[in-house]
């Protein structure tokens, strides 16, 4: 509510202007006061003339001479003036009603954000009451809002052509311009600004999505739009979440091929934290758990087999690590025996310090004695062979030899 004298803004319903002290009038009464004042003045003049006319009639009654028209003509003139004042009052009151209606309509248009229409209505009203200061103040506010609205429209149009930086700078300037404005008419503009700012934020994120190929980077962008509202914001949220889920799935798949079950589950769970309803990720998590269980069972069986095999190998290495072949017994001209043979390392580990114990028997199988021989080389790798040669003296007959025992050491 503005004072019609000085234009100062007053709280609605205030009776006296806080600045100049002028009595404030609400609605039509405020605009009608000047015309009412004229009517009152007219009435005051008419009352004065009535007193004078009364004096004239008294003089006539007292016997003073004069024409009858001396008091008839003034009465006629007074009636004409009164009629004129009445018509003038009606005319001014009608203008006031028109101006008030235009002002109220302009206010309604401004509150709806149609500032251009409000300015036009206020211009029409000002044409009827050019000296009404409240109209000038209303028009100034409406015109400022209209200008800012045009700037915002241009910035919003720039978003359609991907002029994001230019539009962002324009919106920042508009935000600063309306930041301290408390007038209700700016509410619609502030709402439009908020909507455009959401579109700007969404388009900035969209422009960067193709360049983001990690879950963490996408999570940051999701945080930037998660609190935004509107169809475009919801659409970009879904787009980010979908890409997050896809990257999580790909990462988990690579880790699963490497049998990194813990890493694969972690990758899937990270994706599900942003996309809990993603069916593909949920199904893949079950697959990872299933393959993990199967792998662990197979690994346990492998370990058990390996342990068993290791035990068997150890037993073999300790009890059957060598194979003695190619034993030859030669009787020389002095009646002595020369015994030769080959030793093969059948163990899975190297062996060394190998000794062979040989039993000697004659042709009829009678036991003649026993001798020992060392294998050369001293150390044999798995699969390698060594030889031994030993003499047994004073037999004087053909004989044969058999292995009684073989000893060795495992590395």
Query: What percentage of the chain reaches a pLDDT higher than 70?
Result: 80
**Residue from 335, 351, 324 nearest 395 by CA:** 335
Residue bearing tokens 């983001």: 212
pLDDT the model gives residue 370: 92
Q: Based on the number of CB atoms within 10 Å of its own CB, is 113 exposed (0-12), middle (13-18) or buried (19 or more)?
A: buried
Ranking 31-45, 135-149, 201-215, 344-358 by mean pLDDT, the lowest is: 31-45
Token pair, residue 264, equals: 């694969």
**Residue from 287, 288, 289, 276 nearest 244 by CA:** 276
Q: What's the CA gap between 333 and 88, in Å, rounded?
A: 171
pLDDT the model gives residue 246: 87
Question: Rounded to the nearest 5°, which phi and psi values hold at 182?
Answer: -105, -5
Residue bearing tokens 């020992």: 372
Q: Within 10 A of 337 (CB to CB), how many other CB atoms are there?
A: 25
Q: What mean pLDDT do residues 384-410 have?
A: 91
Q: Do 22 and 6 contact (CB within 8 A), yes or no?
A: yes
β 399-410/379-380 pair status: unpaired
Q: What architecture is the 321-410 domain classified under in CATH?
A: Sandwich (2.60)
Q: Is the pLDDT of residue 302 over 50?
A: yes
Query: What percentage of the chain reaches a pLDDT higher than 90?
Result: 21
Q: What's the CA gap between 142 and 148, in Å, rounded?
A: 10
Segment of 52-61, 64-73, 281-290, 315-324 carrying the highest mean pLDDT: 281-290
**Domain boundary assignment for the chain:** 28-146, 210-319, 321-410
Q: What mean pLDDT do residues 58-84 have?
A: 53
**Residue from 221, 219, 222, 204 nearest 163 by CA:** 204
Quick: pLDDT tens for 243-279. Answer: 888 889 899 999 989 989 999 999 999 888 888 888 8
Q: Do 248 and 232 contact (CB within 8 A), yes or no?
A: no
> What's the fold here for domain 210-319?
1.25.40
The secondary structure of 49-110 as a DSSP string is HHHHHHHHHHHHHTT----THHHHHHHHHHHHHHHHHHHHHHHHHHHHHHHHHHHHHHHHHH
Q: What mean pLDDT do residues 112-137 have?
A: 86
Q: Could you tell me the pLDDT band of residue 171, with boundaries at 50, 70 and 90? A: confident
Q: What's the CA gap between 253 and 411, in Å, rounded?
A: 44
Which DSSP state fits 16? Answer: B
Angle at alpha carbon of residue 62, lines to 59 and 65, rounded to 5°: 65
SS3 129: coil
Question: Rounded to the nearest 5°, which phi and psi values hold at 352?
Answer: -150, 170
Quick: pLDDT tens for 284-300. Answer: 899 999 999 999 999 89
Q: What mean pLDDT do residues 118-144 have?
A: 86
pLDDT the model gives residue 376: 93
Q: Based on the number of CB atoms within 10 Å of its own CB, is 211 exposed (0-12), middle (13-18) or buried (19 or more)?
A: exposed
């Amino acid at each position: 509510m503005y004072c019609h004298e000085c234009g100062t803004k007053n709280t609605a319903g205030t009776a006296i202007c806080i600045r100049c002290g002028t009595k404030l009038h609400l609605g039509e009464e405020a605009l009608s006061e000047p015309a009412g004042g004229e009517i009152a003045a007219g009435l005051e003049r008419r009352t004065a003339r009535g007193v004078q006319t009364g004096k004239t009639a008294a003089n006539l009654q007292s016997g003073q001479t004069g024409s009858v028209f001396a008091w008839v003509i003034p009465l006629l003139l007074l009636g004409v003036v009164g009629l004129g004042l009445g018509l003038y009052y009606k005319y001014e009151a009608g203008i006031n009603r028109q101006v008030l209606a235009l002002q109220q309509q302009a206010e309604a248009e401004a509150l709806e954000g149609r500032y251009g229409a409000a300015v036009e209505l206020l211009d029409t009203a000002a044409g009827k009451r050019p000296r009404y200061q409240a109209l000038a103040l209303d028009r100034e506010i409406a015109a400022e809002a209209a200008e800012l609205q045009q700037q915002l429209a241009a910035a919003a149009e720039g978003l359609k052509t991907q002029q994001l930086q230019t539009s962002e700078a324009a919106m920042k300037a508009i935000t600063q311009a309306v930041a301290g404005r408390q007038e209700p008419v700016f509410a619609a503009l502030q709402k439009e600004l908020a909507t455009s700012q959401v579109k700007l934020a969404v388009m900035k994120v969209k422009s960067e999505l193709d360049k983001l190929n990690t879950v963490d980077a996408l999570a940051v962008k999701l945080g930037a739009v998660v609190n935004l509202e509107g169809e475009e914001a919801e659409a970009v949220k879904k787009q980010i979440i979908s890409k997050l889920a896809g990257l999580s799935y790909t990462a988990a798949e690579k880790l699963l091929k490497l049998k990194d079950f813990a890493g694969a589950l972690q990758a899937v769970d990270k994706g599900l934290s942003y996309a809990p309803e993603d069916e593909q990720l949920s199904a893949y998590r079950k697959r990872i758990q299933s393959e993990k269980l199967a792998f662990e069972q197979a690994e346990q069986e492998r370990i058990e087999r390996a342990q068993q095999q290791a035990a068997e190998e150890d037993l073999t290495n300790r009890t059957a690590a060598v194979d003695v072949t190619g034993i030859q017994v030669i009787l020389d001209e002095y009646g002595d025996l020369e015994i030769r043979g080959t030793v093969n390392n059948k163990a899975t580990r190297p062996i060394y310090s190998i000794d062979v114990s040989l039993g000697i028997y004659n042709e009829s199988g009678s036991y003649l004695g026993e001798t020992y021989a060392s294998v050369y080389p001293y150390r044999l790798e798995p699969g390698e062979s060594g030889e031994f040669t030993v003499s047994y003296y004073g037999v004087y007959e053909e004989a044969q030899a058999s292995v009684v025992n073989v000893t060795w050491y495992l590395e």
